[in-house]
C-alpha cells in the first residue's frame, strides 16, 4: 500500500501533523470545510459564523497550503527522516523517535501484502487433470501421498458413510481398508477401531497420524474421547494411541486438522475455535488461541452450488480445521473453512513467557482466501489449496506470489489435497455439500466419487507473477 494510505493510522498521523513546520502564525490559518461533495476554504472569522454541526466538518490548514505555495507534506517530512539531507533541521528527540517507530510499525505492517490478486487465467488445462481413484460408495474428503507411491484416503463417518474411514491403494489397485478391516469396523472396542476420523497427515518418519475426534455426528455429543492414532506405514500397523487430555478440550470440541513437525503435533479444534500443541513424546497437550479471530468462522461455508446448510436449514460455519506447517517448522498456516488464511509464528507457542496479548497479535492475515477444502505445503514452502467455492486449485509461493492452477467443473468441493512423490497434486472431488445430511436426507451426489491427479504447472512455485 502507498505510504499516503498508511497515514490513515491515527497514531502516525497525529505525530506527523504535530511535527509539521510551525512557522505559520494564527493569521495564516484557514479552514477547509466539506460541503456536500466539494470543499470550501474559510478563515477564522467566517468559521465562527457557521453552525457547530457544520463546523465539525472543517479542519485547519495552513493558508500557504491553500494557495499552493508551501510544498510541505507528511510524505516528504517522513522521507526526510531517513533520506540524506544537508539542510540544518531539528531532529526528533529519542522519545519522539520511539513514538514514530511504534506508529510506523503499526501503520506500515504487512496487513495487506495479500493484496496481490489471484490471476484469472489458469496455468493448467483440463487435460492435466486425470482420475486415479473412483468409488460408488465412499466420500473421500482428504488424501495423503506416501513415499512408496501408495495413497491414503479418508472418508468421514460424520457424513453417514459405513465404509472404511481410512483406505489405501496404488493407482493400479482398488482401495482397501487401512491398516486393516478391524480398525475400520463400525462397532467394536473403542481402543481397536476408528470412531470418527477428522484429519490425517504424514510425519517425516513415514508415520501416518490420524485425528479421531470421537464425534461421529457433529450435532450430537461425543461417543468416545479424542485421540491421535499413530500408524507405521512401513509395517502397516497401529503403533500408538495417544489420548487427548480432556482438560484442553471444551464442551462442543471437535478436533480437526493436524500438522506435525519434529515431535510436536498441532491440532485444530473446529468445534470451539482453538489450537492444541501436543508433545508426541510425553503426550502433554496445551491449548492456545481460544476463540481467536484467526481460528473462528466469520461466515458460512460457500460451495459451488451455494451456501452449505445444516439439516435444520441453518447455514453452516465451521471453525478452523485446515492447517499446514512450513518445512522449517517456523510457521503454521491455519484457516476456518470459510477463510481467510492466517499465518502463526510457532515460536510463540514454544515460549512460556508469551502473554495473552502476544497471542492476540500472533496471527497475520496471509491471504484473502475463500472457502477451502484442503491445504498443503511443498518442500520449498509453497502452499497449495483447493477452493470449494470455485472448484479450483491454486498455489501461493513463499515469496507471496499467487498462481491459479486450474478451475474445472469436475472439482465439486475439492478436498484435502497432497503432493505426490512425482510432483503431481492429488485432490479428491469430495462433493461433501451434496451429502444427504445437507439436503434433508436426500443425497444429490453424482457418482462415482473421484480422486484426481493434477500435473503441477512449472510456474506453480515461481516468484514471478503471471498475469
Strand partners, 166: 154
Q: C-alpha distances in angstroms, 290 versus 142, 279, 281? A: 26, 19, 24
Q: Would you state the pLDDT for residue 41?
A: 54
Q: Would you state the pLDDT for residue 101?
A: 37
pLDDT digits (tens, 9 = 90+) for 107-125: 334 444 445 899 999 999 9
Q: Would you state the pLDDT for residue 26?
A: 39
Q: Which residues of the chain have pLDDT under 70?
A: 1-115, 467
Copy the grid coordinates of residue 58.
472543517
- Nearest residue to 241 via CA among 255, 254, 227: 227
pLDDT digits (tens, 9 = 90+) for 415-432: 999 999 999 999 999 999
Q: Would you state the pLDDT for residue 17?
A: 36
Q: Would you state the pLDDT for residue 40?
A: 53
3-state helix, strand, coil in the chain (%, to 5): 20, 30, 50
Q: Would you state the pLDDT for residue 386?
A: 98
Q: Would you state the pLDDT for residue 159?
A: 80
CB count, 10 Å around CB of 457? 20
Q: Would you state the pLDDT for residue 312?
A: 79
Q: Would you state the pLDDT for residue 35?
A: 53
In the chain, the domains with their CATH numbers are: 3-113 (no CATH), 121-461 (2.120.10.30)
- Nearest residue to 16 via CA among 111, 80, 85, 88: 80
**Cα(30)–Cα(28) distance, integer angstroms:** 7
Radius of gyration of the chain (CA): 28
Q: Is 77 helix (H, G, I), strand (E, B) or coil?
A: helix
Q: Would you state the pLDDT for residue 412?
A: 96
Q: Would you state the pLDDT for residue 362?
A: 84
DSSP assignment letter at 424: P
| Helix extents (H) in 83-209 | 94-108
Cβ atoms 153, 143 nearer than 8 A: yes
Contacts (Cβ under 8 Å, ≥6 apart) of 403? 119, 123, 394, 395, 396, 397, 457, 459, 460, 462, 466
Q: Order of strands, edge to edge, in the sheet holding 227-232?
A: 197-202, 207-212, 227-232, 237-243
Q: Residue 154 belongs to what H/E stretch? A: strand 151-154
Q: Would you state the pLDDT for residue 169?
A: 97
Amino acid at each position: 500500500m502507498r505510504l499516503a494510505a498508511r497515514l490513515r493510522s491515527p497514531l502516525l498521523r497525529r505525530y506527523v501533523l504535530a511535527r509539521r513546520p510551525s512557522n505559520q502564525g494564527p493569521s495564516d490559518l484557514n479552514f477547509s470545510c466539506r460541503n456536500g461533495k466539494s470543499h470550501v476554504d474559510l478563515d477564522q472569522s467566517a468559521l465562527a459564523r457557521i453552525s457547530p454541526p457544520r463546523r465539525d466538518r472543517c479542519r485547519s490548514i495552513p493558508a500557504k497550503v491553500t494557495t499552493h505555495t508551501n510544498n510541505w507534506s507528511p510524505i516528504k517530512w517522513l522521507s526526510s527522516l531517513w533520506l540524506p539531507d544537508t539542510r540544518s533541521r531539528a531532529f526528533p528527540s529519542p522519545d519522539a523517535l520511539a513514538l514514530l517507530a511504534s506508529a510506523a510499525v503499526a501503520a506500515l505492517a504487512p496487513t495487506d501484502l495479500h493484496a496481490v490478486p489471484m490471476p484469472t487465467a489458469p496455468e493448467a488445462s483440463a487435460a492435466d487433470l486425470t482420475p486415479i481413484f473412483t468409488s460408488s460408495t465412499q466420500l473421500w474428503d482428504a488424501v495423503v501421498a506416501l513415499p512408496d507411491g501408495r495413497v491414503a484416503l479418508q472418508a468421514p463417518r460424520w457424513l453417514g458413510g459405513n465404509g472404511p474411514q481410512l483406505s489405501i491403494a496404488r493407482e493400479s489397485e482398488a482401495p482397501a481398508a487401512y491398516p486393516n478391516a478391524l480398525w475400520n469396523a463400525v462397532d467394536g472396542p473403542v481402543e481397536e477401531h476408528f470412531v470418527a476420523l477428522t484429519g490425517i497427515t504424514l510425519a517425516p518418519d513415514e508415520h501416518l497420524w490420524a485425528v479421531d475426534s470421537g464425534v461421529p455426528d457433529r450435532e450430537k455429543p461425543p461417543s468416545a474421547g479424542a485421540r491421535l492414532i499413530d500408524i507405521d506405514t512401513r509395517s502397516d500397523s497401529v503403533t500408538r494411541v495417544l489420548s487427548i487430555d480432556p482438560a484442553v478440550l471444551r464442551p462442543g470440541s471437535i478436533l480437526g486438522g493436524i500438522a506435525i513437525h519434529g515431535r510436536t503435533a498441532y491440532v485444530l479444534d473446529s468445534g470451539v475455535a482453538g489450537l492444541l500443541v501436543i508433545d508426541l513424546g510425553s503426550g502433554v497437550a496445551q491449548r492456545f488461541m481460544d476463540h481467536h479471530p484467526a481460528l473462528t468462522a466469520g461466515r458460512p461455508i460457500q460451495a459451488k452450488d451455494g451456501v452449505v446448510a445444516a439439516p435444520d436449514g441453518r447455514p453452516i460455519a465451521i471453525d478452523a480445521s485446515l492447517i499446514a506447517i512450513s518445512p522449517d517448522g517456523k510457521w503454521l498456516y491455519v484457516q476456518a473453512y470459510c477463510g481467510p488464511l492466517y499465518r502463526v509464528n510457532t515460536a510463540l507457542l514454544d515460549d512460556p513467557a508469551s502473554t495473552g496479548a502476544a497471542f492476540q497479535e500472533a496471527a497475520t492475515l496471509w491471504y484473502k482466501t475463500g472457502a477451502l477444502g484442503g491445504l498443503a505445503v511443498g518442500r520449498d514452502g509453497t502452499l497449495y489449496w483447493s477452493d470449494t467455492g470455485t472448484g479450483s486449485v491454486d498455489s501461493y509461493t513463499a515469496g507471496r506470489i499467487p498462481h491459479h492452477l486450474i478451475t474445472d467443473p469436475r472439482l465439486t468441493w475439492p478436498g484435502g489435497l497432497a503432493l505426490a512423490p512425482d510432483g503431481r497434486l492429488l485432490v479428491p472431488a469430495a462433493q461433501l455439500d451434496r451429502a444427504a445430511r445437507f439436503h434433508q436426507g436426500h443425497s444429490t451426489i453424482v457418482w462415482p466419487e473421484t480422486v484426481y491427479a493434477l500435473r503441477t504447472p512449472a510456474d506453480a512455485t515461481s516468484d514471478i507473477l503471471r498475469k
